Chains A and B, each alone.
Chain A
Amino acid sequence: ETGVTQTPRHLVMGMTNKKSLKCEQHLGHNAMYWYKQSAKKPLELMFVYNFKEQTENNSVPSRFSPECPNSSHLFLHLHTLQPEDSALYLCASSPEDRAHNEQFFGPGTRLTVL
């Protein structure tokens, strides 16, 4: 238990569906991250939020829309996804995004797009 939870753990959706992934951290951290992990590839950073402000968007397609209402919660809204978007989506948090802080990861959401 790392103090970072993600729901749902598994999600199957069609290309026309709209769904959301949720992440919650109980560590009092101020930075939160979304990563994508495709099979046999490195974790790819998608978005970074620091004190609720988006500080990085790593050229992510607009069909992925993040939302950070407060420092403890992070959402990833999904719409009109493609089959190649099927992957493990990991959320992480750290005290903030300027120092040498290790990141604490949630268990991930395994997404399958049909």
Chain B
Amino acid sequence: DQQVKQNSPSLSVQEGRISILNCDYTNSMFDYFLWYKKYPAEGPTFLISISSIKDKNEDGRFTVFLNKSAKHLSLHIVPSQPGDSAVYFCAASAIRNTGRRALTFGSGTRLQVQP
């Protein structure tokens, strides 16, 4: 049973427009959320994160929104650029009963930004 779900496997957006990538989670113990971006033949790279005590975090063109009651987060990219074309992974962090943290990942959304 997937605890972190990215229900859209792909998304296509025109250059200059907004890209919105969505992520849903089921485990209420998650208290920290991250977005990673992955280009082909490279490992995922960290993009932006948000703590569960916040509902928004912004970094340049990237903004992450968290709706705890809906267990939903989204990544907004404005304006979208062709170089943003990649696979985006949502990840959630929780403290386990060992006292240690681990990340649980979604299956990814492939974003294509059309010039």
Q: A-side interface residues toward B, CB under 8 Å?
A: 2, 4, 6, 40-43, 45, 48, 50, 55-56, 90, 92, 97-108
Contacts and interface: CB of A to CB of B under 8 A. Distances in A.
Nearest to B41: A107
Contacts, number: 62
Contacts of B49: 100, 102
B103 interface: yes
Interface in B1-29: 2, 4, 9
Interface residues of B, number: 28
Contact of B102 (A2, A4, A45): A45
Contacts of A104: 45-46
4 closest A-B pairs (Cβ-Cβ)?
A105-B43, A102-B46, A43-B105, A42-B105
A27 B39 CA distance: 21
A72 B36 CA distance: 23
19 contacts: A2-B45, A4-B43, A40-B9, A42-B4, A42-B104, A42-B107, A43-B44, A43-B89, A45-B104, A90-B43, A90-B44, A97-B100, A97-B101, A100-B101, A103-B103, A105-B36, A105-B45, A106-B43, A108-B43
B6 to A, nearest CB: 8
B102 A48 contact: yes
B85 interface: no
A89 B32 CA distance: 24
Contacts of A100: 32, 49, 51, 93, 101
Interface in B51-87: 51
B107 A2 contact: no
Given A42-B2, A105-B45, A55 B100 contact: yes
Contacts of B102: 45, 48, 56, 97
B103 to A, nearest CB: 7
B100 A107 contact: no
Contacts of B105: 42-43
B115 interface: no
Contacts of B108: 42
A98 B107 contact: no
